[in-house]
Amino acid sequence: MFLPTTKDEIKKLGWEQLDIILVSGDTYIDSSYNGSAIIGKWLYKHGFKVGIIAQPDINSPDDITRLGEPKLFWAVSGGCVDSMVANYTATKKKRKKDDFTPGGENNRRPDRASIQYTNLIKRFFKNSSTPIVLGGIEASLRRIVHYDFWSNSLRRSIVFDAKADIISYGMGEKSMLALANAIKNGEDWRDIRGLSYISKEPKSSYVQLPSYEDCVKDKDTFAKAFELFYVNCDPITAKGLSQKHGDRYLIQNPPSEVFSEKEMDEIYNMDFEREVHPYYKSQGEVRALDTIRNSVTTHRGCYGECNFCAIAVHQGRTVISRSEDSIIKEVKDIASSKKFKGYISDVGGPTANMYQIECAKKLKHGACSHKRCLYPETCPGLKLNHKRQIDLLKKLKSIDNIKKIFIASGIRYDLILDDKGCGSLYLEEIIKDHISGQMKIAPEHTEDKVLSYMGKQGKSLLKEFKNKFYKINEKLGKKQFLTYYLIAAHPGCNEKDMLDLKRFASAELRVNPEQVQVFTPTPSTYSTLMYYTEKDPLTGKKLFVEKDNGKKQKQKDIIVPKEHNIKYKKKK
């Protein structure tokens, strides 16, 4: 079933009033790839009456008042992507398209959506004392003092700027359910893990971060605050945090505990329509549905810790996988649909080939504070073995009505190369049956200096992987090729580095790359910290950072000239 979006739907369910109303910057796709849908279904599964208002008009009461006022709380999300990232390019040009909006035109998601929606609720429910809870990636990555690229300034925690009551950060199923139960039962919720909130007093037992005012005064102080924040993101080792904002304090409780395999199965075994709700479907086609309708999540989390990526802070550095049985059941359910045409778009997660690969020490004691799993080299404590992934893919291929299972999620080729037992077998399985014509990988750059600032291993691995890929293709009699995702204008990268990248791509990779994006400084990543402070956070040394939008574009144009970009867009 769909969660209700109108009064008529509420009446048909026999409900008088909703317990919780979710407000989202995305349209309502009933899918496990939609944060509001998965949280809403999870709360509904546990006995709460839940409705959704998607992309409300911020200039009118019509949408926001449509379902009345919830008993317990409002849950506000900017959507699956930070609203500023969704609305603007890396050079701050307004995006015309939005794949999560009916009709595809970017005209329904406001800038700083979490703030705008909170203000909307307060405007039309003026006398209400119902709490407003912020969630999703926008709130999660803006939960402490953070650098905001679009205003070129440090901003306060979003809970202050939105004038909301609570933030549920990270993957919110546990914290949101615990909060709903606490409010329902009249219990104190302030110690629930995974929540942040405003307090008049600091918590003496929590780590005290430098204040907002001190961070604004001094970039080194902000860097210290970010480091303390980052090392306290692991559910096992993290301490609570307190950060002063004016005469009040942000209190961040430790993260929600790591999900078990059983809990992951419970979440993803919920019934989803895999469709846009009819109320919104009538407003136009939603392009995102084409990708996610027949896609399957196998795990959450990523220990890659690329410096430009926020997954480590939002989903966590611990990979938690679903059971094989749960994944097979979901694929069978998809394959039994009358609309199914035989193709599973993706089976994966943030990094596809991290499924069922995790460090036993980390699962017991938490992530290491002094080293990373994959940088500067793969930790020997990470016992790499792709066998379970190979076995899973073979079982999925044998399901009735399946023509092809695609792997569209990112693949870490360093993991493949470091798995001496099954890495080559896994790659052969992917090449043989799970790509079509091309395999996409994300080296991000080719120059070791820039790669080190990105937190990625050197280019020698890329050459080794390229050779292995084409050797297996030759063995299988296939003519498939690699495509490369690359980043321009990352902190530490200059025009010479891009010219060297171009030469390397031509001489060693034998390609003219087409997929190059300009680095976007998103909140709460190490790369964004480098961008703002213009320093290497490890050494404190001065770092070149390109901040001129025209010169950023020039770095990209070295690899993909403007005339090629125009042709490529028309071709797409």
Feature table: binding site for [4Fe-4S] cluster: 302, 306, 309
Q: Annotated binding site: which residue ranges?
A: 302, 306, 309
Give the C-alpha separation, 349 to 355, whole Å.
8
Residue 571's φ and ψ, nearest 5 degrees, are -65, -45
Give the C-alpha separation, 22 to 156, whole Å.
24
Contacts 24+ apart (CB under 8 A), 92-100: 92/150, 92/549, 97/287, 99/286, 99/287, 99/288, 100/25, 100/26, 100/27, 100/29, 100/286, 100/288
Tokens of 59: 């200039």
Give the C-alpha separation, 366 to 373, whole Å.
12
| 433, amino acid identity | D
Give the C-alpha separation, 549 to 140, whole Å.
27
Cβ neighbours of residue 532 closer than 8 Å, sequence gap 6 or more: 147, 154, 219, 222, 521
Q: Using the CB atoms, write b or e for 155-183: b if 16+ within 10 Å.
A: bbbbbbbbebbbbbbbbbbbbbbbbbbbb
Give the C-alpha separation, 543 to 95, whole Å.
30
Q: Is the Cα torsion angle 289, 294, 300, 301 positive or negative in sign?
A: negative
Of 108, 345, 301, 146, residue with least CA distance to 226: 146
Give the H or E element holding residue 295.
strand 295-297
